[in-house]
Amino acid sequence: MDRDDLVLISVDDHIIEPPDMFVNHLPERYKDDAPQLVHQDDGTDTWTFRETVIRTAALNAVAGRPKEEYGLEPQALDEIRPGCYDVNERVADMNAGGILAQMNFPSFPGFAARLFATEDADFSLALVRAYNDWHIDEWCGAHPGRFIPMAIPVIWDAELCAAEVRRVAAKGCHSLTFTENPAVLGYPSFHDPYWNPLWRALSDTHTVLSVHIGSSGKLAIPAVDSPPDVMITLQPMNIVSAAADLLWSQPVKDFPDLKIALSEGGTGWIPYFLERVDRTFEMHAAWTLQDFGGKLPSEVFREHFLTCFISDPMGVKLRHEIGIDNIAWECDYPHSDSMWPEAPEELMGVMERFDVSDSDIDKMTHENAMRWYSFDPFTHVPREQATVGALRKRAEGHDVSIQSRSHRLIEPAEKLEAYRSRARAATGAAR
């Protein structure tokens, strides 16, 4: 396959929410209390909600910026590409990167929207619904066929969460972002029947539970004197724990149509994981009383789990050990792991390295995403206009050059010291 003939659908990208997102969807009585984007004296922009202040870390929006500007320091909207928060600019960036469609995770509310849990249940629910309606109707609705809609959950109430899944599914949304460990957030674990209404709603509506790394807020805390490279390396590790927790849980046995995506978790680790769960079952099921109805855990994994990769040569090499129908590609725009705007070049290089067939390429780059998320972009974008080559032709003249955007260039030594200070504080809190 030629690079320009690729059709790319990314199942993991991110929105930096615009300041006016609540204007059209939150009931009037709640608007004064809604989260607000506030410009601070130090030049940064922060979302504030009651006593909580959320800063956008630089690593979360570095598309098109030099690597010297990567870091964990807060920043302002005018320091990032407009495509991070403006949907029309986002589509222009997608075209320039040869990307047909994206699924966009939230930023300031957190992946599980725990921020919106207040003592006022009606206000909390209104915030979730307003966010979802903005995302589905305005962000995704502005360019039909270019975005896989994703809803945020009512994380604090399983019944209300199930009802919201059904409500947004009627609007064409079949993805729900969720935490990889609700117990860490103070809610019942995946093993508690408390969540059964949610599993039932997800199954009934063919909605995927999209579990993103770091969605519980629990990241590995390295030794205080560890460099940030350790933390960044370990970020995907929590998804391995979530995969095991969910695979051995009752929901995958009781709800055969339940689908779970391990978002931004990579794929190279999965063949060993599948060998390990089968070995565990063989050696211990007699006393742990696990019963998969005559199937191996690895077989059940392939029935329920979608795995996702950005640039994972080992996972591509082992694609058939993973399950070719269980792999989807992701771009991760505008985060620091993203390959944008050269994703087609890097991705095709991996495919050529392992002599991947056209059929396997199509599955991993778009067909699996379409099937898992009940998404058909070709009802809006003819296939001949959906390829990398066609989209980039449409984007001719769109500037994707690397540009410095920071108001203040922070020296690496200062960034590292700030990181160590946060690590010391986090380690102390954990103790």
Kindly state whether residue 388 falls inside one of the protein's structural domains: no
Asked whether 301 and 348 are in contact (CB, 8 A), the reply is no
147-148/175-178 β-pairing:
unpaired
Q: Is residue 372 part of a domain?
A: yes
Q: Say how many Å lie between the first and final Cα of the chain, rounded.
A: 53
The CATH number linked to 11 is 3.20.20.140
Q: pLDDT for 48-89, tens place per residue?
A: 999 899 887 667 888 998 988 888 777 889 999 999 999 999
Q: What value, to the nearest 5°, has the Cα angle with vertex 409 and ends 419 and 424?
A: 10
Q: Which domain holds residue 70?
A: 3-381+404-430
- Distance (Å, whole) CA 369 – CA 367: 5
Does residue 399 form part of some domain? no
Domain assignment present for 80: yes
Tell me the two tokens of residue 420. Answer: 């160590």
Q: Is residue 260 part of a domain?
A: yes
Residue 398 is assigned to a structural domain of this protein: no
d(CA 16, CA 86): 9
Q: What is the pLDDT of residue 155?
A: 97
* pLDDT tens-digit readout, 289-322: 999 999 999 999 999 999 999 989 999 999 999 9
What pLDDT was estimated at residue 146? Answer: 98
Total tally of structural domains belonging to the chain? 1
Query: In this predicted structure, what is the pLDDT of residue 431?
Result: 46
- Grouping H, G, I as helix, E, B as strand and the rest as coil, residue 53 is strand
- Alpha helical stretches, state H, 7-115: 87-96
* Number of continuous H segments (helices) and E segments (strands) in the chain: 16, 11
Give a yes or no: residue 391 inside a domain: no
Please say whether the beta carbons of 100 and 384 come within 8 A.
no
Residue-wise DSSP of 217-285:
S------TT--HHHHHHHTTHHHHHHHHHHHTSSHHHH-TT-EEEEET--STTHHHHHHHHHHHHHHHH
Q: Identify the pLDDT of residue 58.
A: 62
Q: How does 49-84 read in b/e, with b if 16+ C-beta sit within 10 Å? A: beeeebbbbbbbbbbbbeeebbbbbbbbbebbbebb
Residues (pLDDT < 70) of the chain are 57-58, 217-224, 422-431
The pLDDT score that the predictor gives to residue 80 is 93
259-277: pLDDT as tens digits = 999 999 999 999 999 999 9
Alpha helices for 269-411 (secondary structure H) = 270-288, 297-304, 313-317, 319-322, 343-353, 358-362, 368-372, 388-394
Domain membership flag for residue 389: no
